Structure formats: structure tokens, C-alpha cells
Amino acid sequence: MNKVYKITYKAYLNERLKQVDFHGQLTYPLYIQLTFERKTIFFKSYFFELLSKSRYFLSVAGLSKSPSIKEIIAKENEVIDFIIGKHGDDFSLEVFKQAYAYYSKDLCDVTENGFLDYLHTFFEDKGMPSLATVIREGAKSCSVYEVVRDLKMAFQKSLYDEMIEDALYYAPPYLPLYGFMVEIKKWPMLILTGMELERPETQSAFSDYIVKHYPGIAVEEVLRQVGKWPDYL
């Protein structure tokens, strides 16, 4: 009989490192400790690093809100438990590292830079290089999706429609991924992980979203582009 090894893990604030700014407050970086077969690995929380970005800080009418460490730990626990359950028969530390790098990734974040590159090229081709630069710099503090939504009000319909239609063919599928994500998620956890998109119910809901909001393009083509997301890393 094969021996069953126990897998244990915990998230903790790494007090051996310098404190970092987390939306205006100093805190120690969040790390994960995972043990299997009496071997232990330590690694920085992906979600802590992701949700530390300024775009996840909301300030409206004198009130401010940002993700909490508790919410980040809950997300880490969800992904790690998912990986342990998925690889119960072939679990190893190497398998875990690869799976964590895949399933924890926020697909909106992964595809954003490629979409920004597309926007930069689009506006340069239209003779608006300054706007291209402003959008790229502004995306550091707000989501590109929100920028595109505002452009719809500022642009002529023909220019906006051209920008969106071309994006579906020449850019990573950032817009459908982000649009779908904000329909099913609430602030501040505006992320859509590889783990979540693998679930059949999420894929079905995403297909329905594409049919509703992008009727001019085949669902299969969008899903094919989404399936290539590791190439955008």
C-alpha cells in the first residue's frame, strides 16, 4: 500500500522582510509556506502582489476601500485547495509550483499588457501618438477596461466600433474577459483566475456572455483565443 503523505500550508506575513506599502498602509509581504513529504517551500503570495496595484484602491466621496489581507488569504486558500484536490494522485512540490503558476493567474491581468500594446499601435496608426502614451501611462492606476468604456463617450461611433472590432482580431481577449468578470464579481476582488475559468459552469456563462455582447464574432474563436492565455505571460 502506498503511503499517503500529508500536505499542509499556511499564509503568513513575512516579518523577516521589510514592510511594504499596501494601499497607504505599511505591512509585511504575504507569503505561503507549504509542506509535503517533510519538504517545505516558501513563496510570495501572487494575490498579494497583484492586489497591491494602485488600481485596486477605490476612493469615492471621501471614502476609501482596498482589498484586505483576509480576502487575499481566502483567495490563496481557495486556489491551493483546488490544486491539492486536482492532483491528489500525482502531487509533488514541482507539480504544485507549476499548477500554482497556472491556476492562480488573473486572466485579465495576463492579457492586459497585450491589449495595451494593441491600443498603442491603433492610436499611433490613427495619428494620435500622445493619446496612445497617455492611455498606457494612465493604465497603471486604473483598469484599461474603464478607459475603453470612457472612450465610447468621447469618440465618434465609427472610430470606437473600429477600435473594438479590430481588438477582437489583433489583441488578446482582454475586453471579453474583463467585461465578463465585472458581471460576476464584486469589488474589490475583480479578478478571474485560470482556476475559475476551468470550471464548466464558468465556461458556459462566459460563452453566453460572448453571444450577448459580441454577436458578430464566433464564440469558438473567442474561446480559442482565451485558451492561448499562457502565451501572453
* 24: alpha, beta or left? (left if phi > 0; alpha if psi -120 to 50): left
CA 17/CA 226 separation, integer angstroms: 37
Question: Using an 8 Å Cβ cutoff, are 10 and 35 in contact?
Answer: no
What average pLDDT values come out for the chain (233 residues) when binned by 10 residues? Answer: 72 97 94 96 97 81 78 96 93 96 95 93 93 84 87 91 90 94 87 94 93 86 87 80
As a whole number of angstroms, the distance between CA 121 and CA 123 comes to 6
Contact predicate 65/58, CB 8 Å: yes
Among candidate residues 194, 218, 206, 202, the one with its CA nearest the CA of residue 99: 194
Let me know: does 56 contact 66? Beta carbons within 8 Å.
yes
Q: How far apart are CA 169 and CA 193, in angstroms?
A: 23
Which residue type does 74 have?
Answer: A
C-alpha cell at 162: 473600429
**Spatial CA neighbour of 174 closest among 217, 105, 225, 103:** 225
Contacts for 232 with CB less than 8 Å, ≥ 6 apart: 110, 111, 113, 114, 172
Residue 219's nearest CA partner among 233, 205, 198, 229 is 205
**For 159-191, how does the pLDDT look when each residue is reduced to its tens digit (9 = 90+)?**
999 999 899 889 999 999 999 999 998 877 889
Of 39, 52, 49, the residue nearest 9 (C-alpha): 39
- Compute the distance between CA of residue 111 and CA of residue 178 in angstroms, rounded to an integer: 10
Which residues neighbour 84 within 8 Å (Cβ) at sequence distance 6 or greater? 7, 91
